[in-house]
Amino acid sequence: MKPSQTNLVYQPSRVVSQSNAARLSVLALALGVLLGGVWVATAQARPNTPSFNASTDTATAETTTKSPQAGTQKSVKLNDAVVDAINIQASTPQPLPTGAPTRYDVTGEDMAGSGDEMDGGDVEVPNAQIGDINAPNSIPSASLPMDASVPDIGATGNVALGAIAPTTVAKFVKVVDTIRQQYVRSTSDEGIFADAIDGMLTGLDPYSEYLDAQAFDNLRLFTDGDVGSIGVTARFHPDDKMWVFDEVLPNSPAARVGILRNFYLHQINDIKLSDEQTQQDIDQLLSGIAGSQVRLVVSDKGRRKHTVTVQRSLVQQQPIAAQWIDGVAVVHIPVFQNTTGQQLMAALANLPQPFSALVIDIRNNPGGVLSAASDVASLFMQDKPVVQVHKQQQLQEQVMTHGQVQFADMPLVIVQNRYSASAAEVLASSLQENARATIFGETSYGKGSIQSIVPLGDNTAVKLTVAHYYSGQGKKIDGVGVKPDIALTSAETDWQTQVLDWLKQQKPTKVYRVQIPVAPQQF
């Protein structure tokens, strides 16, 4: 029996008008929140906000979600994404890539003596139904707010009970009119309102922001396996003692904001660059989730510095691949999407020989879909805590592993670095706290916040931090990270060798094989 779907997405219950008057009301509402006021609105009934199915990227209006076994229930689903987390409902398991298996038999076999021979005695592990891997355990939603509601903008003008002083609103309107009439270049109301909304959100924390139509589409596509790039290659030039853009792809996000080849790169977000950063540091800082933004300080070969904000665009992410090295399976998970659990099992099934241990490499993994981290953890642990969700400094829910464990006692290593973030940290912390894996590498990034997407009705949206997550045992992750059990300080190119040498010393006594059963022919 399949476990029911994890239901954790804060779905807004109202569609926000796309008119400029509505946008002004949104701005006023946000100002009220920032000023600590309380906005009361008598919202008229409106259609439910479309929820987006990550498998089709189409909008379907719904207020309830059906779990596979539990019937119909109202729901919320936490889909976290990394340095920029997202919340988009995936109501059905995601399809595997073409040709990928749908069912696996996992068998463990005792190793005879000190060699790799097997004694022929199979230790059966229950079959892994891949559909189950992507279906997290059901979580009671009674204690969760059912949505991150936005008042009906059409009605907010009727009952503004002093939430914002009239002089504050008048000042904002005056600034807008001044820009319209006196700014040196022509402007559009749409652009002014978009910038104002973005300014309010980015002032809250590094992850809250306004998403225009392209960013919103990119962020939805991320759950299906896409990451973002600005289309540049930057290298450190010792002669100039500067990081320089050696390549800027035509019509790339960087090119569209005016960055040219041979421009100097002085700063990425709040990080000032020097010769102390590595190439990997720069590549990681420039890349991220599709639709997210990166702020750069650049100059034309030492001329006046200026700041540009670049929105990362889609780059297809390579699927998960596994290597067989001296009897050990080594898997690199670049990012967590809806199908990560399935892709991991498919990669292991394609290994040429049985393996006695598993290394999961999450270096440079920016995070992704939170439930995918739970899916992977569930392959190795039965009924164990994975992550706690806190809102307004109070525990809301604790997510547990789900389904039938596939590798209960197989030796397991997680390799992480300082750029392993968000859902990657959830996986590492859960396996570490339950003594199910040994963590190698560096202290991870320390990103432990959850963002909810609030559509504004015109294919734009607001991304707002709504919760923080802690480890399954309640340890803080945000700003702290996950410390490794065994710290590695040498060059990262040597890490894999050190991990494999350590595993050999553990002398595993069993080998594992993931096989694809042959379906009976139909006549």
Q: pLDDT per residue over 32-43, tens digit each?
A: 434 333 332 223
Would you state the structure tokens that stand for residue 164, as one six-digit string?
């914002």
Taking the CA of residue 80 as centre, how many other CA atoms within 13 Å lie in the half-sphere pointing to its CB? 29
pLDDT at 22: 47
Which residue matches tokens 């954790």? 8
Distance of CA 215 to the CA centre of its chain: 15
Q: Which three-class secondary structure state does DSSP give residue 409? A: coil
What DSSP state is assigned to residue 240?
T
DSSP state of 199: H
> Quick check: helix, strand or coil at residue 130?
helix
Cβ contact 384:377 at 8 Å: yes
- Looking at the domain 321-506, which fold is it? 2-enoyl-CoA Hydratase; Chain A, domain 1 (3.90.226)
Using CB atoms within 10 A of its CB, is residue 500 exposed (0-12), middle (13-18) or buried (19+)?
A: middle
- 322 secondary structure, DSSP code: E
- Residue 157 CA to residue 164 CA, distance in Å, equals 12
Q: Which pair of structure tokens corresponds to residue 383? A: 């009924």
> How far is the C-alpha of 339 from the C-alpha of 332, rounded, in Å?
14
- Torsion from C-alpha of 441, 447, 450, 456, nearest 10 degrees: -120
CATH topology of domain 227-312: Pdz3 Domain (2.30.42)
**Is 285 strand, coil or helix?**
helix
Task: At 180, give phi and psi (nearest 5°).
Answer: -55, -45
Mapped onto helix, strand or coil, the DSSP state of residue 501 is helix
Q: What backbone torsions phi and psi does residue 427 show, to the nearest 5 degrees? A: -60, -50
* Residue ranges in the chain whose pLDDT is less than 50: 1-22, 24-26, 28-103, 112-161, 523
Tell whether the torsion through CA atoms of 482, 488, 491 and 494 is positive or negative. Answer: negative
Spell out the domain ranges in the chain: 172-203, 227-312, 321-506
Distance CA 185, CA 187 (A): 6
Strands 264-268 and 271-272: antiparallel
Give residue 2's pLDDT. 37
Residue with tokens 């509402």: 29
Q: What is the pLDDT of residue 475?
A: 94
Bridge partners for 60 per DSSP: 51
Q: Are 333 and 365 in contact (CB under 8 A)?
A: yes
Length of the chain: 523
Which residue bears the tokens 């560096």? 442
The answer for residues whose C-beta is within 8 angstroms of residue 514's C-beta and 6 or more apart is 104, 105, 106, 128, 345, 348, 349, 351
- Retrieve residue 88's tokens: 């988009």
pTM of the model: 0.58
Residue 459's contacts (CB-CB under 8 Å, 6 or more residues apart) are 213, 216, 217
- Nearest CA-CA partner of 293 in 253, 327, 323: 253
Residue 288 pairs in a beta bridge with 228
Question: Residue 519's pLDDT is what?
Answer: 55
Question: Minimal CA–CA distance to 370: which of 1, 8, 3, 2?
Answer: 8
DSSP code for 217:
H
Q: How far apart are CA 356 and CA 503, in angstroms?
A: 9
Using only C-alpha atoms, the chain has a radius of gyration, in whole angstroms, of 25
Instruction: Using alpha carbons, list the distances in angstroms from residue 411 to 137, 154, 309, 328.
Output: 25, 59, 45, 10
